[in-house]
Amino acid sequence: MPRTATTDTDTLSSHLVPVQSFADGLVGPRFGIRSQKMAAGDRRLHRHDYFEILFFVASGTQQRIYLRDYLSRRGSIFFVSPMTPHQPRFGPDDVCYVIYFDLAFLHLELAGLNDSAPKTLARLPELAPFFFQQDIDYALTEAQVELLQGLCERMLQEQHEPRLCSQEVIRASLTLLLSEVSQSYEADIRALMRKSPPLASGGERHVQRALEFIERHLAEKLTLSQAAEAAAVSPNYLATLLRRETGQTFVDLVTARRMDKACELLSYTRLRVSQIGDAVGFFDVDYFCRRFKQVMGCTPMEYRATHRLLQVGE
């Protein structure tokens, strides 16, 4: 018999990746850049509410960003979206630029918004590297390493010795850095955008409301009618909008987000499989395991065995 959900929001949140920031206390749109030979070792698994770039110019080791591990080397560059779990790792010979910023630093009119969702990508294509980090391994040529290193050094100089127009120079340098990587991987980015195009039509607002409703209620039984009510449209119209704007049905979208969340919990928590099933809306653990294997190609425990990431200190 199906069980009722037992994993409430407070219980679940206590298991999630902690929010940590070295930008706390800053007033206004945040920006920072550091360059140093990093102390060897793993940083604590964490997430934060701003964008972050890790650009390796010497050596490099394995990095964990969300559900993937990446091998890094000279020229590797990683783009961490807001609230994405990640664990930087540094070897004794690694040299890395770390850049963080709010969207409002790049575009003052976007104060209060930090988002790498499709609707943001449609307006700000320079953010494409963040949106597709899980799909593309970004590696720069030697000429690009020198170009981006020059941009980073200029940003460092303007940050440490502020002058007239320093903010404008930093903003322009950061935009050029993002644009250089976006153009280098333009073919890959365009192909991925065709598979999952940014929301840009008149139905964007309704679709976004539906997606936000799905996100808030993953642990509950979800219906198209409920999502349509939250989006203030009819169920038939929402189904049409979802197909047109995302290329997926309502059931496809819900299933994909539930599996993605289940993978995150399997990787980053000690929750039992039955608790994870509850947390993503499957209240029959056997059905959850069958559906997970159907979609992911392995059982939840097999996935955990290959993706489990212990936090520092566990």
Residues of the chain with CATH 2.60.120.10: 31-195
- Tens digits of per-residue pLDDT, 90-140? 888 888 999 999 988 988 776 655 554 556 677 788 999 999 999 999 999
Total residue count of the chain as it appears in this document: 314
- For residue 288, the model assigns a pLDDT of 96
Class of domain 9-13+201-307: mainly alpha
Query: Does domain 31-195 match CATH 2.60.120.10?
Result: yes
22: left (phi over 0), alpha (psi -120 to 50) or beta: alpha
- For residue 25, the model assigns a pLDDT of 66
Whether the per-residue pLDDT at 86 is higher than 70: the answer is: yes
Residues of the chain with CATH 1.10.10.60: 9-13+201-307
Output the pTM of the full model: 0.80
pLDDT tier for residue 5 given thresholds of 50, 70 and 90: very low
- Tens digits of per-residue pLDDT, 28-71? 688 999 987 666 666 778 888 899 999 999 877 888 898 888 88
Share of residues in the chain with pLDDT > 90 (%): 52
Give yes or no for a contact between 171 and 78, defined as CB atoms under 8 angstroms apart: no
Mean pLDDT of the chain: 85
pLDDT mean over 153-173: 96
- Return the amino acid letter for 153: E
- Tens digits of per-residue pLDDT, 219-252? 999 999 999 999 888 999 999 988 887 888 999 9
